[in-house]
């Protein structure tokens, strides 16, 4: 770890790179301090030694060494420690801002209004009866709201014209280049002209 990077920024970086919850990572460090070893996602955390107030941690994933660093035990255990707010560090906020502007795979529970270029896998739970609407382009189009879900929640998916017949209830689908909007106070996903709906597992 470079000396110019604070320990909270470094841990935030690890949580980003290895896709683990930052709070869980801090709790795993505390557990390793107490029990010599702990896990967080795919990360194995070992407490190598203690010298005065300093703890030396080694983090690995499989045979790969992720990093070795020392930190103050007081900082780790202090209730008002900046480590308790890893999710608010500049490193994590910069990453989330960048991620929300580009292609990324997310879970439904992570969706936020304004996200674009979203890739997401989910199951089709419901498809409403299509209705005809008059569009701003001066023509009629068929539109139907579907409900899709994963283990983190559900969200509406707005389907237009040929998109409606491309999926069935029970299908496992992958959305590409979707964007998240709000309509009548309710969050929904839309597939733009450059977006795709791929059926991964069909129930029909």
Per-residue model confidence as pLDDT tens digits over 127-145: 999 998 887 778 888 999 9
The pLDDT of residue 204 is above 90: no
Taken in order 86, 90, 96, 99, the sign of the CA dihedral is negative
pLDDT of amino acid 61: 92
The pLDDT of residue 149 is above 80: yes
The pLDDT of residue 192 is above 80: no
CA proximity to 37, closest of 28, 26, 27, 24: 28
Give CB contacts under 8 A, 24+ apart, made by 125-130. 125/149, 125/154, 125/169, 126/169, 127/159, 127/164, 127/167, 127/168, 127/169, 130/164
Residues of the chain with CATH 2.40.50.140: 104-201
Min mean pLDDT across 29-43, 68-82, 140-154 is at 68-82
The pLDDT of residue 100 is above 60: no
Taken in order 60, 61, 62, 66, the sign of the CA dihedral is negative
The pLDDT of residue 188 is above 90: yes
- Between 201 and 103, where is the model more confident? 201
Measured CA to CA, the distance from residue 99 to residue 111 in angstroms comes to 12
Pairing status of strand 118-127 against strand 172-183: antiparallel
Best-predicted range by mean pLDDT among 5-9, 11-15, 16-20, 143-147? 143-147
93 three-class SS: helix
Domain 104-201 part of CATH 2.40.50.140: yes
Q: How many residues can be counted in the chain? A: 204
Measured CA to CA, the distance from residue 136 to residue 102 in angstroms comes to 28
Measured CA to CA, the distance from residue 192 to residue 91 in angstroms comes to 31
pTM of this structure: 0.49
Beta-bridge partner residues of 73: none
pLDDT of amino acid 195: 84
């Amino acid at each position: 770890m470079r000396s110019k990077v604070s320990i909270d920024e470094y841990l935030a970086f690890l949580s980003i790179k290895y896709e683990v919850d930052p709070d869980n990572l801090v709790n795993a460090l505390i557990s390793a301090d107490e029990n010599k070893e702990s896990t967080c996602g795919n990360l194995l955390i070992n407490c190598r030694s203690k010298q005065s107030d300093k703890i030396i941690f080694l983090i690995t994933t499989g045979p790969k060494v992720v990093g070795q660093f020392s930190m103050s035990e007081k900082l780790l255990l202090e209730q008002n420690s900046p480590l308790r707010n890893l999710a608010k560090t500049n490193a994590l906020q910069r990453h989330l801002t960048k991620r929300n502007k580009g292609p990324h795979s997310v879970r439904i529970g992570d969706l936020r209004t304004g996200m674009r270029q979203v890739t997401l896998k989910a199951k089709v739970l419901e498809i409403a009866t299509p209705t005809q609407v008059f569009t701003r382009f001066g023509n009629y189009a068929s539109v139907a709201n579907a409900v899709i879900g994963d283990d983190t929640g559900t969200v509406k998916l707005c389907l237009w014209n040929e998109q409606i017949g491309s999926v069935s209830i029970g299908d496992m689908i992958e959305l590409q280049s979707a964007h998240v909007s709000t309509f009548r106070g309710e969050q929904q996903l839309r597939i733009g002209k450059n977006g795709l709906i791929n059926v991964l597992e069909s129930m029909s």
